[in-house]
Amino acid sequence: MSDFLICGGTPLEGSIQIHGAKNAALPILAASVLHQGVSVLENMPDLKDIETMLRILKELGTEVKTEENHKGRAVFVDTSGMTKPRVPSHLVKEVRSSIFLIGPILATLGQVDIEFPGGCEIGKRPIDLHLKGLRALGAEITEEDGLIHAAAKELIGTEILLDYPSVGATENIMMAAVKAKGTTVIRNAAREPEIVDLERYLHRMGAKISGAGTDTVTIQGTAFLRKHVKHTIMADRIVAGTMLAAGAITGGEVMVKGAEEETLLPVLKCLTQAGCQIKTENEGLFLSAKNRILRKIPHLVTLPYPGFPTDMQPQICTFLSLCQGRSTVEETIFENRFEYSKELNKMGANIKIRENTAVIEGVEALRGARVKAKDLRGGAALVLAGLAAEGMTTVEEIKHIERGYERLERMLKNLGANIERVGRITERSGNE
């Protein structure tokens, strides 16, 4: 078990290269099953969820190799030997994104068995829209004792209207439809940039898809997919947004490299509105909060893309806890995404949760404390608070943070932060 030990108060300065996007890499790894060939995936982030997904692919009969090269980490996945339609239960529990495998395995092997990937700290995370879409394509799906069995001799393209623009459901249906007979049109599709990156990868595989990034995605089924595909994973816009927020909350100046400005517009708008200076330069996105008065945002709402991203809600609320005045932030995507606010209030923040809205009264300063990460983005938010707080902060349970940030302490140290990763002596057996 490890913690982050942070001595706050240093304005961050410097530039940081953003690693590959977890939420693009996970569906793309699932999609590699479709062509039963070799995929070379560059800029693959080194994260716990990615490692678990690679272990699942190996247990399904896939060959996996990783290597470091000038573009960072590359992963070679050879799915030609994948024959098992059973996703290992113990690994499904570790990474709920294994649900992305239903569509591709069903489309490739004609059947798939996988455990229901329960909820998580931020919400129930149902998958009804995934299953409804796959049934519309002709899959026979039974659910018994927590196990999903899906089968289809052949998937048939059709028109699917999503009740809600679910990112995962859009991706799962897209992948299943790649090898269906005929054309599939997904309406009210999610528009997140990670879906566009999945489409780019599938295009390279020879899939006939258009419309990713809009609310209508059209997939023309094909039996002919290329056996060798190379793709570079897009940069992680949420990690980029988190690093910009770190510069903002510490009153520093940071240059964030690699992320597309287009994918961050609502976050950039929000930080500018609060008083930060943001410039788009050749090198990347530059943010300065040096000697700037930072002020409230009267009302912010998290929405499906291109709205303000829910995955940046904890980080922006933490930043607003030190901005003058009252801000309110409404969370419309997940039902339990304010857990971190209790820990922030231990550090002197003044955040009250009314139903699904945080009412944030800006305070002069936060003070260091021992706090506990309870989920991925809430944990990252506590690190930001520690960077800005007076004195020492210990953030426990950083395993949550490591699911989505590659060596966060190293990234922050490169920007001058005073942060160490320490093992926690536990009663049982010393350092675990």
Of 112, 114, 376, 384, which one interacts with ligand EPZ (CB under 6 A)?
Answer: 376
Q: Does residue 168 bind ligand EPZ (CB under 6 A)?
A: yes
> Quick one: tokens of 409?
């302490």
Q: Quote the DSSP letter at residue 146.
A: T
Q: Cβ of residue 385: shortest distance to ligand EPZ, in angstroms?
A: 18
C-alpha closest to that of 270 among 290, 250, 289: 289
Of 8, 19, 20, 23, which one interacts with ligand EPZ (CB under 6 A)?
Answer: 23
Q: How far apart are CA 428 and CA 133, in angstroms?
A: 48
**CA-to-CA separations, 27 to 21, 170, 175, 205, 259, in angstroms, rounded:** 11, 11, 9, 14, 19
| C-alpha triplet 16, 418, 416: angle, nearest 5° | 35
Mark residues 3-22: x for contact with ligand EPZ by CB under 6 A, - for none: -------------------x
Q: Does residue 130 bind ligand EPZ (CB under 6 A)?
A: yes
Q: How far apart are CA 77 and CA 390, in angstroms?
A: 47
Q: Which residue is nearest to ligand EPZ, using beta carbons? A: 168
Considering only residues 193 through 222, tell me which ones interact with ligand EPZ, judged by CB under 6 A: none
Of 6, 12, 25, 26, which one interacts with ligand EPZ (CB under 6 A)?
Answer: 26
Q: Cβ of residue 419: shortest distance to ligand EPZ, in angstroms?
A: 21
Query: Identity (one letter) of the amino acid at 144?
Result: E
Q: Cβ of residue 129: shortest distance to ligand EPZ, in angstroms?
A: 3
Q: Does residue 374 bind ligand EPZ (CB under 6 A)?
A: no
Q: Which residue, 10 or 315, is less far from ligand EPZ as judged by CB?
A: 315
Q: Does residue 337 bind ligand EPZ (CB under 6 A)?
A: no
Q: Does residue 302 bind ligand EPZ (CB under 6 A)?
A: no
Mark residues 227-266: x for contact with ligand EPZ by CB under 6 A, - for none: ----------------------------------------
Active site residue 120: yes
Contact 264, 237 (CB under 8 A): yes
Contact 31, 225 (CB under 8 A): no
Q: Which residue, 146 or 423, is less far from ligand EPZ as judged by CB?
A: 146
Of 18, 101, 102, 127, which one interacts with ligand EPZ (CB under 6 A)?
Answer: 127
Q: Cβ of residue 110: shortest distance to ligand EPZ, in angstroms?
A: 23
Residue recorded with tokens 């330069």? 281
Q: Cβ of residue 200: shortest distance to ligand EPZ, in angstroms?
A: 16
217 has which bridge partners?
A: 186
Considering only 106-114, 118-126, 244-252, 384-392, which stretch makes contact with ligand EPZ by CB under 6 A?
A: 118-126
Q: Which of 7, 120, 270, 323 is catalytic?
A: 120
Q: How far apart are CA 189 and CA 123, in angstroms?
A: 21
Phi first, then psi, for residue 310 (nearest 5°) are -60, -30
Query: Identity (one letter) of the amino acid at 291?
Result: N
Contact 28, 231 (CB under 8 A): yes
Q: Cβ of residue 281: shortest distance to ligand EPZ, in angstroms?
A: 27
Task: Report how far apart the first and last C-alpha atoms of the chain are (Å, whole number).
Answer: 5
C-alpha closest to that of 259 among 278, 280, 276: 280
Considering only 5-13, 124-132, 136-144, 240-248, which stretch makes contact with ligand EPZ by CB under 6 A?
A: 124-132
Burial level of 336, CB count in 10 A (0-12/13-18/19+)?
Answer: middle
Contact 14, 255 (CB under 8 A): yes
Q: Does residue 164 bind ligand EPZ (CB under 6 A)?
A: yes
Q: Does residue 333 bind ligand EPZ (CB under 6 A)?
A: yes
Which runs of E-coded beta strand occur in 289-369?
A: 300-301, 326-330, 350-354, 357-361
Q: Does residue 334 bind ligand EPZ (CB under 6 A)?
A: yes
Of 377, 409, 417, 419, which one interacts with ligand EPZ (CB under 6 A)?
Answer: 377
4 has which bridge partners?
A: 395, 421
Q: Cβ of residue 128: shortest distance to ligand EPZ, in angstroms?
A: 5
- Alpha-carbon Rg for the chain, nearest whole angstrom, is 22
Q: Which residue, 114 or 129, is less far from ligand EPZ as judged by CB?
A: 129
Residues annotated as catalytic are 120
Residues that bind ligand EPZ (CB under 6 A): 22-23, 26, 97, 123, 125-130, 164, 166-169, 190, 192, 310-311, 333-334, 376-377, 404
